[in-house]
Amino acid sequence: MLHNIIASSGAGDAILIWIEYAALTIEVLAVAIIVVSILVSTIRYLFQAALHPGVKGRYQRLKISLGRTLLLGLEILVAADIVRTVALEATLQSVLVLGLLVLIRTFLSWALVVEIEGRWPWQPERKVE
């Protein structure tokens, strides 16, 4: 719908191109965050393992760091999909595909929260004593 309104104006094509670039930029940002964070976390893990080989909990900290990175990346990718679908491709099929992507990414996010925190997102946080 928004696509049809924008396209009917004189500057519409430029706006649509800008929206497409914005969505692409958001996707690239998400991928960059994931890749850079994975590299930094892995390098930090390897350095700490080499310098302090007997320290416990290092692997758990790596898992938490990677999980949080993936959660952030997934949320940014969902934002890019929403921008692209709502502004550029607001057809029933594209909205259904968006809904499926959001559903899959939400499930992945929940699985990551369970892995990181040991609880479902809707459960209260455990008190550490």
Q: Is residue 123 part of a domain?
A: no
Q: Is residue 17 part of a domain?
A: yes
Q: Is residue 129 part of a domain?
A: no
For 40-74, give one letter per residue: b (16+ CB within 10 A) or e: ebeeebeeeeeeeeeeeeeeeebebbbbebbbebb
34: containing domain: 2-117
Q: What is the pLDDT of residues 66-122, one digit of tens each?
A: 988 988 998 899 888 888 887 777 788 888 888 898 888 888 888 888 888 887 777
Count structural domains, the chain. 1
Q: Is residue 34 part of a domain?
A: yes
Q: Is residue 128 part of a domain?
A: no
Q: Is residue 127 part of a domain?
A: no
* Backbone phi and psi for residue 80, each to the nearest 5 degrees, phi listed first: -65, -40
Q: Is residue 20 part of a domain?
A: yes
Q: Is the pTM of this model over 0.75?
A: no
